């Protein structure tokens, strides 16, 4: 089997997600185009880099990502660092002739996203592939929803509502990590999770063309955690901890128009007690509806409203499995279910197929750039208290 050397920059949560996915990809997909070889892992913290190197069986580690960029043996770079370094690392990797998969949000400014999309277009001319990590659109149930919508079975879309609700930062004792600092994160909930819900909505309904928004920060300062490693609310710090101001948003809501003609809304918060990874989509069409929730990610609910008789009308539940998109990764019997790990493996597989086939996969850097433009329009709309057109 063909081998491809991988360099991973950033050995935190997303570094782990990508490495688990890369190692599972050839095991789950019988036609995986290559066997990823763990060549080098980079983290600015040498202890974390060494630990990761040992646990994942990397051949080596480094603390300067340029060691990965300058290594001619490395074919693929996974960018899994905090948001402020995505642009410089991804562009350097593309210019050095690597294929690049970069975590979301793509960058912290529209200008950076634009530069990344341009670098990706140039690299593609030389056969190099790039992808931004908006994985949730690859959930088999969402791909099935897309098939149903595109087939016309639920008619013309009228309304598309998307939500991403979490609670890990609802407690004011949840420490301030890089995710609460504009300089490193670019934005708060907006870049972190709103963009995922937006990506799914746009995948199904077309790009957002006009919007009006509300952007709120509820917890204005948080205790600072020594070391700064992002622990996603799993520790709480007491009143005696040093505090730092939060300069990003906690919650974002928009009303919007989609290019496909539907209207709708997208909302996200990390302050919804009781919600964990609650991503929902509800799509209404002139002939039927679709609804889905990530917390039950294998289940797609569809109502073929015009086909059901009065008194028998309702949502039918489809347990996605081998007969649905990405059925070759799911276990044999619907209801056995896949989770986050398999989803990231689907992303790694889609990326690998694109590398093999020499085409750009969905969730290109161009998509990441378009999402950045919507985020910019959201901040502008909140500022002017009115509707704005997405550039
Ligand atoms: C934290 O909100 C986070 O880890 C996001 O950064 C991810 O993109 C999301 O998939 C899970 O939650």
pLDDT tens readout for residues 213-240: 999 999 999 998 877 678 888 888 888 8
Q: Any residues with CB less than 8 A from the CB of 250 and at least 6 apart, and which?
A: 169, 188, 189, 216, 217, 218, 219, 269, 270, 271
Ligand 1 pocket check for 249: Cβ under 6 Å? no
- pLDDT value of residue 79: 98
**What H or E segment, with its residue span, contains residue 31?**
none
Res 67 pLDDT > 70: yes
- Percent of the chain beyond pLDDT 70? 100
Ligand 1 pocket check for 189: Cβ under 6 Å? no
* CA 189 to ligand 1 centroid distance, Å: 9
- pLDDT value of residue 228: 66
Q: Ligand 1, atom 6: nearest CA belongs to which residue?
A: 192
d(CA 188, CA 193): 8
Ligand 1 pocket check for 193: Cβ under 6 Å? yes
DSSP 243-258: EEE--S-SEEEEEEEE
* CA 70 to ligand 1 centroid distance, Å: 30
* CA 13 to ligand 1 centroid distance, Å: 9
- pLDDT value of residue 137: 98
For domain 3-135, which CATH number applies: 3.40.1590.10, 3.10.50.30, 2.40.50.140, 3.40.50.720?
Answer: 3.40.50.720
- pLDDT value of residue 136: 98
- The answer to whether 3-135 and 140-296+298-335 have equal CATH topology is no
Q: For residue range 241-300, list pLDDT tens digits in order.
A: 899 999 999 999 999 999 999 999 999 999 999 999 999 999 999 999 999 999 999 999
- The domain spans of the chain are 3-135, 140-296+298-335
d(CA 293, CA 279): 6
pTM given for the model: 0.97
Res 207 pLDDT > 90: yes
What's the CATH number for 140-296+298-335? 3.30.360.10
Mean pLDDT in residue range 207-213: 98
Q: For residue range 344-361, list pLDDT tens digits in order.
A: 999 999 999 999 999 999
3-state class percentages of the chain: helix first, strand second, coil last, to nearest 5: 35, 25, 40
Ligand 1 pocket check for 77: Cβ under 6 Å? no
- Tell which residue, 317, 345, 319, 347, has the closest CA to residue 333: 319
* CA 127 to ligand 1 centroid distance, Å: 30
- pLDDT value of residue 328: 81
- pLDDT value of residue 28: 94
Three-state DSSP class for residue 182: helix
Q: Which residues pair with 144 in a beta bridge?
A: none
* CA 193 to ligand 1 centroid distance, Å: 6
Mean pLDDT of all residues belonging to the chain? 96
Among 17-21, 216-220, 324-328, the least confident range: 324-328
Mean pLDDT in residue range 113-130: 98
Mean pLDDT in residue range 23-32: 95
Q: Ligand 1, atom 12: nearest CA belongs to which residue?
A: 193
């Amino acid at each position: 089997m063909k081998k491809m050397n991988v360099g991973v920059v950033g050995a935190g949560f997303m570094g782990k997600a990508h490495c688990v996915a890369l190692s599972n990809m050839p095991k789950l997909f019988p036609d995986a185009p290559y066997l990823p070889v763990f060549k080098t892992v980079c983290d600015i913290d040498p202890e974390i880099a060494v630990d990761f190197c040992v646990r994942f069986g990397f051949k080596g580690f480094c603390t300067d990502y340029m060691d990965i960029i300058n290594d001619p043996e490395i074919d693929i770079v996974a960018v899994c660092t905090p948001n402020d370094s995505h642009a410089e690392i991804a562009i350097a990797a593309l210019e050095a002739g690597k294929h690049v998969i970069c975590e979301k949000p793509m960058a912290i400014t529209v200008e950076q996203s634009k530069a990344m999309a341009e670098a990706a277009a140039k690299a593609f001319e030389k056969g190099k592939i790039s992808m931004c990590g908006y994985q949730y659109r690859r959930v088999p149930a969402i791909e099935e929803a897309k098939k149903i919508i595109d087939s016309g079975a639920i008619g013309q879309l009228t309304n598309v509502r998307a939500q991403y609700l979490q609670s890990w930062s609802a407690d004011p004792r949840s420490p301030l990590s890089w995710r609460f600092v504009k300089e490193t994160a670019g934005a708060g909930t907006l870049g972190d999770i709103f963009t995922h819900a937006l990506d799914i909505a746009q995948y199904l309904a077309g790009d957002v063309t006009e919007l009006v928004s509300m952007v709120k920060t509820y917890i204005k300062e948080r205790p600072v955690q020594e070391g700064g490693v992002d622990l996603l609310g799993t520790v709480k710090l007491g009143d005696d901890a040093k505090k730092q101001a939060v300069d990003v948003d906690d919650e974002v809501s928009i009303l919007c128009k989609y290019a496909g003609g539907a209207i709708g809304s997208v909302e996200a918060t990390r302050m919804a007690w009781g919600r964990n990874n609650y991503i929902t989509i509800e799509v209404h069409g002139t002939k039927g509806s679709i609804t889905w929730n990530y917390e039950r990610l294998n289940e797609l609910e569809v109502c073929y409203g015009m086909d059901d008789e009065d008194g028998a009308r309702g949502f039918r539940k489809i347990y996605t499995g081998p007969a649905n998109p990405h059925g070759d990764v799911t276990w044999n019997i619907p209801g056995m279910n896949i989770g986050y790990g398999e989803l990231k493996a689907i992303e790694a597989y889609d990326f690998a197929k694109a590398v093999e086939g020499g085409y750009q996969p969905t969730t290109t850097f161009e998509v990441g750039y378009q999402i950045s433009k919507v985020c910019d329009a959201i901040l502008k709309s909140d500022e002017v208290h009115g509707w704005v057109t997405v550039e």
